[in-house]
Amino acid sequence: MRGAPRRLTRTEARSARAASGFLLPFLALFLLCFVAPIGYALYESLLKVERTGPLGLGGETRQVWAGLSNYAHALEDDRFTAGFGRVLLFGAVQIPVMIAFATGLALLLDAASARWVGFFRTAFFLPYGVPGVIASILWGFLYVPGISPLVEMAGSVGWDVDFLGRGAVLWSIANIVTWQFTGYNMLVLIAQLKAVPGELYEAARIDGASAWQVARHIKLPLIRPALVLTTVFSLIGTLQLFAEPKVLKPLSNSIDSGYTPNLAAYNEAFTSNNQHIAAAEAVLLAVVACVLSFGFLRLVGQRGKDGESG
């Protein structure tokens, strides 16, 4: 606190007083619901339960310092790390497919003649209004042999599909997520496309550019910020994958209790009653999410800058 502390002017003081009145309610709840849980998770993840009874059975339990052993336990748990690998694989495939799909639809709608555009846009966006759980229940019925008309139709042409088998179920989940969020991402991209000044297209057309060239060389580069944003949000969503595998779990033997990191942490806390390891897993999940999304933003940020200078 050395160095002359700058004194607040009177308007600044008044302003700070009023601002704190407006900010405090939000900040208090933000502290409670964002900062405190992170702190609490960090704290819990560094403790473990020790039983004092004979052979460590029964008797009193008390919490003791565990250092990083919970983290070590989580990282040595093959199921947990496999779950991480699984969502990363999921993200590496599903996010590009979904974003490409959404971009394609946005460009098509942008180029289509106006009559049916409203209908299609609404139809594509509709699944966003179906909560993840309901979407999973819904698609679950469409995957299960016996109920699913899709399986029945495939079977009638001699194609034996198993949507819930070991190899397929991850992609069946990817389909649910794609179904739900493509329309939302498409709408975000359309909003950005509409922000492009019309003269740009005019100029390109006068220069003789085809519709395809306009899309490729003008529209795509201009919606880049929206593409980055939707990708980051998809990334965060993917790491949190939970509702879909949880709902499909009773239908498929291929989904185990650690199928995704979130499912692992949930089961650790509520099935195995081991909240300290669950806390460590939650912290690991948050760290990976932040590293990946910041890393991605930095990567595209740098490339954007290179592009500008080049």
Partner 1 sequence: MNEANDLAGGVVAGEPGDGPGDRAGSGAAPGRAPEAAPPGTRPGAGRRRAAKGREGPEPPLRHRIITASLLTVAALYFLTPVYWLVVSSTKSSSDLFGTFGFWFHDPHPLDYLHRVLTYDDGIYARWFANSLMYAGVGALAATLLSAAAGYALAKYRFPGREGIFNVILAGVLIPGTALALPLYLLFSEIGLANTYWAVLIPSVVSPFGVYLCRIYAAAAVPDSLLEAARIDGAGEARIFSTLGLRLMTPALVTVFLFQFVHIWNNFFLPLVMLSDSDLYPIQLGLTSWQGYADRQPELYQYTVGGAFLSVLPLMVLMGVLQRYWRTGLTEGSVKA
Within 152-181, the residues that bind partner 1 by CB under 8 A are 152, 179
Instruction: With beta carbons less than 8 A apart as the criterion, state whether 181 and 94 touch.
Output: no
User: Contact between 134 and partner 1 (CB under 8 A)?
Assistant: yes
Q: Is 307 in the site for partner 1 (CB under 8 A)?
A: no
Of 53 and 68, the one with the shorter C-beta distance to partner 1 is: 68
The Cα diameter of the chain in Å comes to: 87
Q: How long, in residues, is the chain?
A: 310
CB count within 10 Å of CB 277 equals 24
- Smallest distance, partner 1 to C-beta of residue 47, A: 11
- Residue in 68, 92, 100, 133 binding partner 1, rule: CB under 8 A: 133
Asked if 113 touches partner 1 (CB under 8 A), the answer is yes
Ranges within 175-234 binding partner 1 (CB under 8 A): 179, 182-184, 187-188, 190-192, 194-199, 201-202, 205, 211, 225-226, 228-230, 232-233
Q: How far is the CB of 170 from partner 1 (least distance, A)?
A: 19
Residue that is written with structure tokens 């939707």 in the block: 230
Q: Which of 21, 54, 167, 208 binds partner 1 (CB under 8 A)?
A: 21
Residue with tokens 């220069």: 207
Query: Cβ distance 109 to 190 under 8 Å?
Result: yes
- Judged by CB under 8 A, the chain residues 250 through 269 that form the site for partner 1 are 250, 262, 265-266, 269
Strand partners, 50: 62
State the number of CA atoms in the 13 A half-sphere of 154 facing the CB. Answer: 14
Stretch near partner 1 under the rule CB under 8 A, chosen from 70-78, 92-100, 158-166, 286-294: 286-294
Could you say which DSSP state residue 77 is in? -
75 in contact with partner 1 (CB under 8 A): no
Specify whether the CB–CB gap between 220 and 192 falls below 8 A. Answer: no
Q: Which of 271, 249, 269, 251 is nearest to 259 (CA)?
A: 249
Give the residue with the Cβ less far from partner 1, 16 or 68: 16
